[in-house]
């Protein structure tokens, strides 16, 4: 459902996304990049059509981006030709252990059932190099919702509450450095409902170097 939906709205999604008010992504991405080494190896989960932060991540380092929508991925490949793009489902994808300096997953994990997220988080923990960082957004409450008409297509949304998200991240061997609820105002996505205020759970976490997170990361953040 998610793949088919994003394939169908590929040409209109970027315009809709540009209408979001109060999106803190630029602020969080800037803080992430300030703590990364030059030419960092970065994995972006759910790159969509290649709008921000995909170009910024690619300009900073060696970017690998994965998306379940083939059409969105084609748009991203055309927009950011320097990145490596992978068409696939991140819940079954395989990447090298201890490879990435950062994993970024913005507004994508809320399309996964909460029950599937702990295993994905465990896998992300293995892909991160020691000292590597995770920047991710999660749903801020327990959800399991099928929307018949979201931007004109059926769509699924799922997730966990804030405390469960934090426990899941810690269980994956990562240390939560920052955990905040951030509201945004979205353009109309369901006919007749108008603009909607939604809250997402933003998390910045680190894979420890030895027993504790790298002190360099804590100073930078």
Q: What's the burial of 26, exposed, middle or buried (CB within 10 Å: 0-12/13-18/19+)?
A: exposed
pLDDT number for residue 215: 45
Which one has a higher pLDDT value, 182 or 219? 182
Give the Cα separation of 77 and 178 in Å (integer).
31
Helix axes 10-18, 70-79, angle to 10 degrees: 60
pLDDT above 80 for 218: no
- CATH number for 2-220 (one of 3.40.50.150, 3.20.20.70, 3.90.198.10, 3.40.50.740): it is 3.40.50.150
Q: Structure pTM? A: 0.92
Nearest alpha-carbon partner for 87 in 70, 72, 64, 104: 70
Q: What is the pLDDT of residues 26-52, one digit of tens each?
A: 999 999 999 999 999 999 999 999 999
Contacts with 27 (C-beta within 8 Å, 6 or more apart), sequence order: none
pLDDT above 80 for 168: yes
Contacts with 69 (C-beta within 8 Å, 6 or more apart), sequence order: 2, 3, 6, 7, 10, 48
Residue whose structure tokens are 């008409």: 149
Each residue of 70-85: b (16+ CB within 10 Å) or e? ebbbbbbbebbeebeb
Domain boundaries, the chain: 2-220
CA distances, 137 to each of 104, 111, 134, 165, 180 (Å): 9, 11, 10, 10, 10
Helix axes 162-171, 117-127, angle to 10 degrees: 40
pLDDT number for residue 141: 78
SS3 60: helix
| Mean pLDDT, residues 109-123 | 95
Average pLDDT, the chain: 93
């Amino acid at each position: 459902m998610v793949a088919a939906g994003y394939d169908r709205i590929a040409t209109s999604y970027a315009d809709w996304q540009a209408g979001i008010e109060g999106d803190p992504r630029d602020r969080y991405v800037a803080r992430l990049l300030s703590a990364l080494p030059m030419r960092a190896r970065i994995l972006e989960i759910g790159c969509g059509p290649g709008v921000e932060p995909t170009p910024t991540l690619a300009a900073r380092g060696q970017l690998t981006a994965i998306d379940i929508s083939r059409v969105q991925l084609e748009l991203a490949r055309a927009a950011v030709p320097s990145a490596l793009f992978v068409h696939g489902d991140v819940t079954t994808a395989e990447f090298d252990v201890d490879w990435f300096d950062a994993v970024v997953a913005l507004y994508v994990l809320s399309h996964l059932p909460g029950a599937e997220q702990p295993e994905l988080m465990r896998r992300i923990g293995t892909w991160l190099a020691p000292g590597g960082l995770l920047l991710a957004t999660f749903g801020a409450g327990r959800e399991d919702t099928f929307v018949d008409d979201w931007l004109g297509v059926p769509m699924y949304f799922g997730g966990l509450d804030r405390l469960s998200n934090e426990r899941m991240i810690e269980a994956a061997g990562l240390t939560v450095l920052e955990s905040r609820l951030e509201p945004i105002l979205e353009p109309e996505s369901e006919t007749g409902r108008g603009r909607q205020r939604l809250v997402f759970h933003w998390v910045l976490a680190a894979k420890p170097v030895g027993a504790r997170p790298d002190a360099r990361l804590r100073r930078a953040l």
